Structure formats: C-alpha cells, structure tokens
Chain A
Amino acid sequence: MMLHYILMALSALLSISVVYLAIVERDLIKAAIFSAVQSALYAFLYYLLMAPDIFLTYIPVGVGLYTALILILIKKTERYEGE
C-alpha cells in the first residue's frame, strides 16, 4: 500500500516537471512529445488510483491520437513559436 503512494508521488512530481518543460519549450514538436510523456504519467496515476477504465481510455487518446493530431497541426502551420 505504501509503495502505491510512493509511486504516485514520483509520477506526479515527474509529470509536473514535464508540464513545465512543455510550457516553456519553443520547439512545438518537442512540446507535443513532452505533453505525451505527461499523458503517460497521468495514465499511470489513474491506474494507481484504481481507475483502470480511465487508464485504458487515456493511453490511446492522450498518447496516441491527441499527439498525432497536434503533430499534423504543427506540420500544417509552423514548427517554432515566435516571440
């Protein structure tokens, strides 16, 4: 039981730092990949919080489909964020 809470704390802290990197990053493709890493960590959190149904939705939507959609959008517009 204690291991659950330690893993939860670790993945929550990691996801916070990844969120910070995703916001600050100028290269939007890197930002999209940071966002995908954050989604994976959040999915892991949902699994540890005993919500496996949300976990199974979060993995394909948050990591696969959403990231692909953002990458398609970046390809059609600009890769680097201006000042």
Chain B
Amino acid sequence: MGNTLQVVIIISLTLMVIGLAMVLAMGGFGFTVPPSSVRSLATIFLNTTFNLDTKYRYVSAMSPEAVTAIVWDYRGLDTLFETSVMFIAIVGALAISRGASEKLLKGFSKTRGGMSLIVKTITRIIIVMIASVGLSITLHGHLTPGGGFQGGATIAVAPMLLIITFSIYLFSKMITVSKAVTLRSIGLIGIALSAFIVLIIAILHGDLAYIFQNQPKLYSHYGLPSYAEVMVLGGTLLLFNTFETLAVAFGFTALFILFILPEEVVKDIIKGEE
C-alpha cells in the first residue's frame, strides 16, 4: 500500500473524529443539537402514545413504547412497504437459485461435515438463549425498546450458527428453503390481515373503520383491546410485531441457506439445462 493512501486514510479518519466530537461536545455543553422548536413535535408524540386522559382518548395509540407506536401505528404504511422491499429482495434470490437446495439434498444421503463436539454442544446451549432473547424483544416490543425487526434479526442469528456448526446437510433436514419461505409467507399474510383486522371487525358489526386502525377513533368506535386486566397489549402492535418476527427470521434463514450452498451445485442451476 502506498504512503499517500495511508496518509489519506489517516486524514479522513481524523476529520470524521473531529466532526463527530464537535457535535457530541456541543450537546455536552448545553447547546441542544436539534433546535428547540423541533422538540414540540416530540412533546406531541409523547403526549399521544400512551394517554388514558379522556381528552386524548381518540388520538392516543395506547402503547407505552413510542418508537413501536410510530412504526406500526402512526406510520404503519411506511413499515408495510419496507417489509415488502425485503420480500422482493428475497424473491429475487429465490428466483436465481430455484431448485438448488432440493438438488443438494438428493446428492447426499448421509450427513457429513460440521465442527467439533465442543462447538456443537456450545451452539446447542447458545441458540436457546438467542431464541429466548429474540422472543422477549418481540413480545415486549410494545412495552420496551425493540419490536418485530429487532427480534426477527436476533432470532435469525440462531439458524446461521446452526448452519455453520452443524453443516448445511444436517440443517436441511430440519428446515428447507421451501419450509422457511412458507413460514415467511404466513408472517406476511398475518401482517396483511392485521392491517385489516379492525375493518373486518367493524364490517361484522355492520359499520366501517379505517385501514391500519388500532384504537377507537372519533368516527369509528372499533379497535383491539389495548390492555387486559394487568397486561398492556397495545392493540394491533403485538400482532404486527409477532408476524414481522416470523417474516424477518425465516426470510433471513432462507437467504442463508441459499448463500451457503456449494458453488458447483448453484452454477449448474444458474446455467440451466439446454
């Protein structure tokens, strides 16, 4: 590597450090980095996310976690299209390597590969911990920081570890690409149904409601229960988080199976049979 390149790297890193440090130091010395006029917006959101006051009854999202409320209630359509972008990306990967995983399984009858016994045992213990942390992030998504994508990405680490330590041949006996895609589709159908569930309830009562409605609004008095006895449920937020976790975790699983397939198998598939 040339000396000039090294100098350029050091200078650009130094400039980045100075820039970041200035922003942080200004916050530390009491200058608020976003001007205080912006903060009134935050006040509005904090007032309306969880408010039992009758004045806010038809505005509040009834979820103590402001970020999840904004992601799935205030801006539900944005998140729906983000999920569909990831869906399209996975459809592309599936279309390129169609049939590759089935062909792989046909060729090898007995399991082979994988790491040593120590690594396998530790992985067996660790995946239980990863899965439970991911589930708690998901199911508490409307109470504490976290939510569908965070929980799903955490759970997706477990199949990745399984593939690497136990080899793709053994993993394919548990979860194949088609199984992962089926579970992912169940998650997507669940998200789509959750967007319409209040409308469906309202139509069954002979009335109308909004799409992506969560709590009762001024002109439509239907909604999912926001709390039951001592538990805060958050209405549709819990449903959205659960189904998003399914979609993200098994979407990543399908992608990892496709990425780790041996090249000679995939090359034949991409070339086609002419």
**Which residues of A come within 8 Å of B, CB atoms?**
5, 8-9, 12-13, 16, 19-20, 23-24, 52-53, 55-57, 59-61, 64-65, 68-69, 72, 76
Complex CA distance for A72 and B168, rounded to whole angstroms: 13
Which single residue of chain A is at the shortest CB-CB distance from B147?
A53
Interface residue B263 (Cβ < 8 Å from any Cβ of A): yes
Interface residue B254 (Cβ < 8 Å from any Cβ of A): no
Q: Are B157 and A72 in contact (CB under 8 A)?
A: no
Q: Are A64 and B17 in contact (CB under 8 A)?
A: no
Q: Are B24 and A16 in contact (CB under 8 A)?
A: no
Q: Are B252 and A72 in contact (CB under 8 A)?
A: no
> Could you say which of B10, B28, B156, B263 contacts A60, with CB atoms under 8 Å apart?
B156
Interface residue B164 (Cβ < 8 Å from any Cβ of A): yes
Q: Binding site of A, secondary structure by majority: helix, strand, loop or mixed?
A: helix
Q: Are A16 and B17 in contact (CB under 8 A)?
A: yes
Q: Are B24 and A5 in contact (CB under 8 A)?
A: yes
Q: Are B21 and A12 in contact (CB under 8 A)?
A: yes
> Could you say which of B10, B20, B28 contacts A12, with CB atoms under 8 Å apart?
B20
Q: Are B145 and A53 in contact (CB under 8 A)?
A: yes
27 A-B residue pairings within 8 Å (CB atoms): A5-B24, A9-B21, A12-B17, A12-B24, A16-B13, A16-B17, A20-B9, A23-B9, A24-B1, A24-B6, A24-B9, A52-B145, A52-B146, A53-B146, A56-B137, A56-B154, A57-B153, A60-B153, A60-B157, A61-B153, A64-B153, A65-B153, A65-B157, A65-B252, A68-B160, A72-B260, A76-B263
Interface residue B150 (Cβ < 8 Å from any Cβ of A): yes
Which single residue of chain B is at the shortest CB-CB distance from A63?
B157
Interface residue B259 (Cβ < 8 Å from any Cβ of A): yes
- Number of B interface residues in the complex (CB < 8 A): 29
Q: Are B9 and A60 in contact (CB under 8 A)?
A: no
Which single residue of chain B is at the shortest CB-CB distance from A12?
B20
Known: A9-B21, A12-B17, A68-B256. 8 other contacts (CB 8 A): A19-B13, A52-B145, A53-B150, A57-B150, A59-B154, A61-B153, A69-B259, A72-B259
B133 to chain A, nearest CB (A): 10
Contacts of A57 in B (CB 8 A): 149-150, 153
Could you count the A-B residue pairs with CB atoms below 8 Å apart for me: how many are there?
60
The digit string for B212-233, where 1 denotes a CB below 8 A from any CB of A, is: 0000000000000000000000
Complex CA distance for A42 and B41, rounded to whole angstroms: 27
Residue among B10, B137, B145, B260 having the largest count of chain A Cβ atoms under 10 Å: B145
A73 to chain B, nearest CB (A): 8
Interface residue B239 (Cβ < 8 Å from any Cβ of A): no
A44 to chain B, nearest CB (A): 14
Interface residue B67 (Cβ < 8 Å from any Cβ of A): yes
B80 to chain A, nearest CB (A): 18
B218 to chain A, nearest CB (A): 30
Q: Are A53 and B24 in contact (CB under 8 A)?
A: no
Residue among A53, A59, A60 having the largest count of chain B Cβ atoms under 10 Å: A60
B26 to chain A, nearest CB (A): 12
Complex CA distance for A83 and B144, rounded to whole angstroms: 49
A67 to chain B, nearest CB (A): 10
Which residues of B, 59-110, contact A by the 8 Å Cβ criterion?
Answer: 67
> Could you say which of A9, A16, A56, A69 contacts B145, with CB atoms under 8 Å apart?
A56
Q: Are A64 and B150 in contact (CB under 8 A)?
A: no
